Amino acid sequence: MTKFNEYRLKPFLLEAVEKLGFTEPTAIQKEMIPQIMSGNSAIGQSHTGTGKTHSFIIPIVERIDVSKQEVQAVIAAPTRELGTQIFNEIQKLIGDSGIEVKSFIGGTDKQRSINKLKTQPHIVIGTPGRLKDLVNENALLVHTAKILVVDEADLAFDMGFIEEIDQVAGKMREDLEMYVFSATIPEKLKPFLKKYMANPAHIKIGDKRPAAEGLDFYLVPVRSKKKVERLQEVMQIINPYLAIIFVNTRTNADYIAEELSKKGIRVGKIHGDLAPRERVKMMKQVRDLEYQYIVATDLAARGIDIQGVSHVINYELPEDLEFFIHRVGRTARAGLKGVAITLFSPEDEDAIVRVEKMGIPFQQKDIVKGEFVDMKERHGRKKRVRTENEADTKAKSMVHKPKSVKPMYKKKMKWKMDEIKKAERRKNRKK
């Protein structure tokens, strides 16, 4: 088995890794750590919850030369929360090694960021827009940096940040090493990758089995109830340590939070309309376990690491079904078990089928007397072979296609057959 000490890490780093409780590298770490240690540009494609962050921060910390007071690595994160999360994880690794790390995220005072750069840090983490601004102000000097990490690249592309990252990368060294991490590689992202990466290693982890082990998937029909009422029934059953309720829009997040609050349930909210200060406060309250439930849009699935999530509830399926994997990946992490519950209506059938084709093994559940019970397979009715009864058989034998076909002959044949069937059923009832 590969162990972390086989990477010949510096003693302080090995000690920090052991304190974090890491003994065996994850699949993405086994592949990416040697690539980054060797200075080979690479694309790491893996789903959330696979240990991706440590697959790049461990080798980056290992490669920092503290004798040079200059920027040596830049990490671009598409959201403020993800940037803060990466910063916090690096802090746990560096100890008193003398490595300086600074974080620069949007929504904070730009002048204060500039003041923090009177001495250049060894590692910089930031959101693309803020990194670009600081580089353009000549406050952040990235021309010395050899390493650029683009985390959650597909999300960065979706949010329109690739242009800002491109501007930062353009100011870095010609022999730039780029490490791109993404759950998917959209076609439109490829020109950017080709610009900076000649022949990168492309490492794909868990492509055939996106769902985490130890994770159960429940599919619960809404039936004739209001959806929010069905949600409340689910909540009364599960009693989670911490549950995230996913919705597609900020409006729905506000609506669900308000409806649950009316029932006396204290619920947190995470979506893009929250001001930076509110988001920081909300994340602190979540970490302090002030909430048992959080209502969130898909921002939380990609940009925030929330510890201790025991349940995920899909109040509605994501519009981009790829996000289903990111959502459910918030639970069953680090060897723990989890449950992902999806509420569905008949109009969701096509989307459910597509999610099943992604490898999700749904268990059909209904709610009876305040408990989950197994229900018949959703496709049972479709699979049942239709048998012809005697009335059908007799009608078909008595009605034949006319020799000379006239307009509406098919409808007339059907009418005749229906009349014969009715007559036969009347006879059977009299018997």
Residue 239 structure tokens: 């009693």
Residue 195: Cβ within 10 Å count: 12
Hey, where are the domains in the chain?
4-204, 215-381, 390-430
Rg (CA), the chain: 28
| Domain 215-381, CATH | 3.40.50.300
Q: How far apart are CA 292 and CA 314, in angstroms?
A: 16
pTM, entire model: 0.65
Question: Tell me, what's the pLDDT at 350?
Answer: 86
What's the CA gap between 234 and 308, in Å, rounded?
A: 19
Q: How far apart are CA 274 and CA 297, in angstroms?
A: 12
Give the three-class secondary structure for 159.
Answer: coil
Question: What is the enclosing helix (H) or strand (E) of 416?
Answer: helix 409-430
Sign of the CA dihedral 325, 329, 331, 336? Answer: positive
How far CA 375 is from CA of 124, 147, 219, 221, 368, in Å, comes to 52, 53, 10, 10, 10
**Using CA atoms, how far apart are residues 209 and 323, in angstroms rounded to an integer?**
15
Q: Running along the chain, 431 residues long, what does each successive block of 10 average in pLDDT?
A: 80 93 90 95 82 94 97 94 90 95 87 92 96 96 97 86 95 95 85 91 72 83 91 95 94 94 92 78 88 87 77 92 83 83 92 87 93 78 47 67 66 75 69 54
CATH of 4-204, picked from 3.40.50.150, 3.40.50.410, 3.40.190.10, 3.40.50.300, is: 3.40.50.300
4-204 and 215-381 share one CATH topology? yes
- The pLDDT of residue 233: 96
Q: Which two tokens stand for residue 70?
A: 């200059």
Please, what is the end-to-end C-alpha distance for the chain in angstroms? 77
Question: Cβ(104)–Cβ(169) under 8 Å?
Answer: no
DSSP 387: P
